[in-house]
Amino acid sequence: DSGVTQTPKHLITATGQRVTLRCSPRSGDLSVYWYQQSLDQGLQFLIQYYNGEERAKGNILERFSAQQFPDLHSELNLSSLELGDSALYFCASSTGILAGFSTDTQYFGPGTRLTVL
Amino acid sequence: DAKTTQPPSMDCAEGRAANLPCNHSTISGNEYVYWYRQIHSQGPQYIIHGLKNNETNEMASLIITEDRKSSTLILPHATLRDTAVYYCIVRPNFGNEKLTFGTGTRLTIIP
């Protein structure tokens, strides 16, 4: 158990809909990362938040957005869903105390499996 | 970020040491080598990381060559639960905190 929690575990929805995925980081961790894993693209970085502020952006679509709240939990919002958005979505967290240094190890949650029908 | 090359698959007998190689010939001086694994569709699990010295923890050992162009992850006594995809990732020690996953090595432990 990494200490990172994600809800829901599974999500089934229809094209055009909007969903929200939630992540609670490990206690004390300030950085939250979102990754997407699809069959054809592998594990890809989407976005990072550090202490409530966006810190880095990866291959995140404009239909997707995220935020980190004062209690440090994060939500990933996916809208106008398409069949191709079906994937596993992982959240990871790190202390962020040494923000900018690679010894700041990321720990991953169990993921949310999104199925768009 | 430096690119890594790993064999797509490997088998190892249960109880034997599993040695997983990774080539990172373009690694630069400020980049660390990280290893993660993913069991089935679970979240990636951190294993170990290092800069230039060999590292060992309760899960594995990491051997980095002197020129740092390649490394080997060693699972000393592989069990069936070690069957997973293993990812070798090179990441700078500041500035770019994301993890860039390649295709990894699918390790199968054979009873």
The model's pLDDT over B44-102, given as tens digits with 9 standing for 90+, comes to 999 999 999 899 999 999 999 999 999 999 999 999 999 999 999 998 766 667 899 99
CB nearest to A58's CB, from B32, B98, B102: B98
pLDDT of residue B23: 97
pLDDT of residue A42: 86
A37 contacts in chain B (CB < 8 Å) = 41
Backbone phi, psi, residue B38, to 5°: -130, 115
pLDDT of residue A41: 78
Q: Using CA of residue B50, residue B56, residue B59, residue B64, what is the dihedral sign?
A: positive
Geometric angle at alpha carbon A43, from A11 and B5, rounded to 5°: 160
Contact yes or no for A90 and B95 at CB 8 A: no
pLDDT of residue B2: 65
Task: Name the CA dihedral angle for A65, B96, B38, B55, rounded to a multiple of 10 degrees.
Answer: -160
pLDDT of residue B97: 78
Chain A closest CA to B22's CA: distance in Å? 18
- DSSP lists the bridge partners of residue B61 as B56, B74
For residue A8, is the peptide bond before it cis, meaning its omega torsion is within 30 degrees of 0?
yes
A62: its two tokens: 């404009």
pLDDT of residue A58: 93
pLDDT of residue B10: 98
Contact A70, A49 (CB under 8 A): no
Q: CA-to-CA distance for A51 and A73, rounded, in angstroms? A: 10
CB nearest to A108's CB, from B44, B92, B96: B44
B43 contacts in chain A (CB < 8 Å) = 2, 4, 90, 92, 108-111
Residues (pLDDT < 50) of chain A are: none
Contact yes or no for B99 and A56 at CB 8 A: no
Contact A5, A93 (CB under 8 A): no
- β-pair type (A112-116, A10-13): parallel
Nearest CA in chain B to A43: B101
pLDDT of residue A95: 85
B35: its two tokens: 């290893």
- DSSP lists the bridge partners of residue B50 as B33
Among A102, A106, A112, A115, most B C-beta atoms within 10 A, so best to mutate, is A102
For B10-48, what is each residue's pLDDT tens digit? 999 999 999 999 999 999 888 899 999 999 989 999 999
- β-pair type (A87-94, A31-38): antiparallel
pLDDT of residue B98: 86
Nearest CA in chain B to A111: B43
A99 interfacial to chain B (CB closer than 8 Å):
yes
pLDDT of residue A33: 96
A44: its two tokens: 């890809």
Contacts of residue A87, Cβ cutoff 8 Å, sequence gap at least 6: A36, A37, A38, A41, A113, A114
pLDDT of residue B1: 60
Geometric angle at alpha carbon A82, from A78 and A85, rounded to 5°: 60
Size of interface A-B (CB pairs under 8 A): 75
CB nearest to A48's CB, from B31, B87, B97: B97
B95 contacts in chain A (CB < 8 Å) = 100
